Chain A
């Protein structure tokens, strides 16, 4: 009898997860509705004007800013996270070196976003300025560099798991045919684990898309479509962080609409990543 009640109870508790998620989507949609009604969903996404004075809002600059920063971060992080994955998943598997590297990586993954933002502002920005890349040192490039460092731990630890799953007999077969380690890696390991590695990067991209504080501190916060990679811009998350406090009416609704879009994009990206991993296993 009590066991039945217990089972029921567990079932009811699990409903909470569904209720929270359903409630979130409902609140976002109903909050975004005024903006979507006024501008139309597609117009809102394609319009690049964000002007509080004329009360016209469009999300395109922020969507472009988010996608540019995240993809650039992914590209910058790629050689490093792949090296770390190979280092700890193949070359120095279970050795002291890989333990040192992996403890560095796990420490990096623990650093809070706002500390990354501070470090980017006071350590990376001066370097960008002194290299003469841009005058104020803020913008897409600066945020992407810091974002790249933030997602390296995630991408590398995930993809090293997939590299470790490559069966030993495949590797040995490749060696027995006379290939060097590099040839074995490029011809056997990476092709075998490619979908898993790809999924790791997709999940890392999902992380980068939603990053708020570090990007807010480094992107420069201007509401235009960036003309180049060193231009200042705004991401979807950073425009919410910057403008939510004093927003009301249509502006508030537009910001909630951006939050809804952001949630949908990250959910889609995570869904694709998880799907690929499921296939792989």
Chain B
């Protein structure tokens, strides 16, 4: 009889310990990135171009920090994610609206199913596809190719999160707008989307934070450049691909951590905003 209660207690302790263990990798990652990366962070790090291996080797020998920064990566990441968002957000919201208005049609359920499948496609496969569609056609790596790869990754996430949010809206909202004589377009743009805004916005932020750290597809599509590039048809750097380049060059190893610190900070901020927005909706 007692044994049962002891077992129950032991189980609770086990649950608590193994749940708390999750903090260890997180703290370890953050500690590693911050403690190794903070030294390199300065204004230069955000504004200067990427150092070459030679400059870094000299700096390492003198024991000073590596000169230069990752401005091309930061601008490149922002540029490519912005282009991807410009395509994926309106498209995703519209398709999400379509799916939520046709819940029972067979065609809509096929689209829903396919976009779920699309969401599960590994990012490297999307990289290969865009490589064969865009990079081989234009005969050059480009920001455009990377943006399209990111678009394909963002699109299903935005579609599904929009649809899920719209499904939760009360039907009476739409009906009262229509009863007042508003057209469908007006109802969609002025009633439905605004009242679902926080949910849609959370979905968008989460999709942006997912793709901003994507490395594999960018290695196959945008490659990289050592200076800041705003031409959509030229190879462009991004923070994750720079981390990969630095990782493969022993002289630039210190840059790995500071770049990861920037990337991690951006992702965490995006996640934090998303969480705050979705919580304010729930309250």
Binding site for B on A (CB under 8 A): 2-3, 6-7, 9-11, 13-14, 16-18, 20-21, 23-24, 27-28, 31, 79-80, 83-84, 86-88, 91, 101, 103-108, 110-116, 118-119, 121-123, 149, 152, 180-183, 185, 206, 209-213, 217, 237, 240-241, 244-245, 255-256, 259, 262-263, 266-267, 269-271, 274
Contacts of A185 in B (CB 8 A): 11
> Which of A83, A185, A211, A245 has the most chain B CB within a 10 Å cutoff?
A83
From B116, B123, B129, B268, contact of A110 by CB (8 A): B268
Contacts of B122 in A (CB 8 A): 209-212, 237, 262-263, 266
Q: Is the CB of B29 within 8 A of A111?
A: yes
Q: Which residue of B lies closest to A84 (CB)?
A: B19
Question: For the complex, is B196 an interface residue (Cβ under 8 Å from A)?
Answer: no
Q: Which residue of B lies closest to A112 (CB)?
A: B213
Q: Is the CB of A17 within 8 A of B115?
A: yes
Please provide the chain B residues from 217 to 264 with a CB less than 8 Å away from any CB of chain A in the complex: 219-220, 240, 243-244, 247, 256-257, 260, 263-264
Contacts of A91 in B (CB 8 A): 12, 15-16
Of B39-47, B54-62, B93-101, B164-172, the segment with at least 4 beta carbons within 8 Å of chain A is B93-101
A-B pairs under 8 A by CB, number = 222
Q: Which residue of B lies closest to A25 (CB)?
A: B129
Q: A256 to B159, alpha carbons, bound, how many Å? A: 28
> Which of A88, A103, A104 has the most chain B CB within a 10 Å cutoff?
A104
If A6-B185, A87-B16, A263-B121 touch, does A181 touch B8 (CB 8 Å cutoff)? yes
Q: Which residue of B lies closest to A149 (CB)?
A: B25
Contact with A along B191-207 (1 / 0, CB 8 A): 00000000000000000
Instruction: Specify the main secondary structure of chain B where it touches its partner.
Output: helix
From B5, B91, B183, contact of A16 by CB (8 A): B91
Interface range for B: 35 or more
If A10-B97, A114-B244, A209-B122 touch, does A259 touch B128 (CB 8 Å cutoff)? yes
Contacts of A241 in B (CB 8 A): 124, 216, 219
Q: Which residue of A lies closest to B155 (CB)?
A: A17
Q: Which residue of A lies closest to B253 (CB)?
A: A122
What are 28 A-B interface contacts by the 8 Å CB criterion? Answer: A6-B185, A7-B184, A13-B91, A14-B95, A17-B95, A17-B114, A17-B155, A18-B110, A20-B118, A83-B15, A87-B16, A91-B12, A91-B16, A107-B268, A107-B271, A108-B26, A111-B26, A111-B264, A112-B214, A112-B267, A119-B28, A119-B32, A123-B28, A182-B4, A212-B122, A213-B240, A237-B216, A240-B124
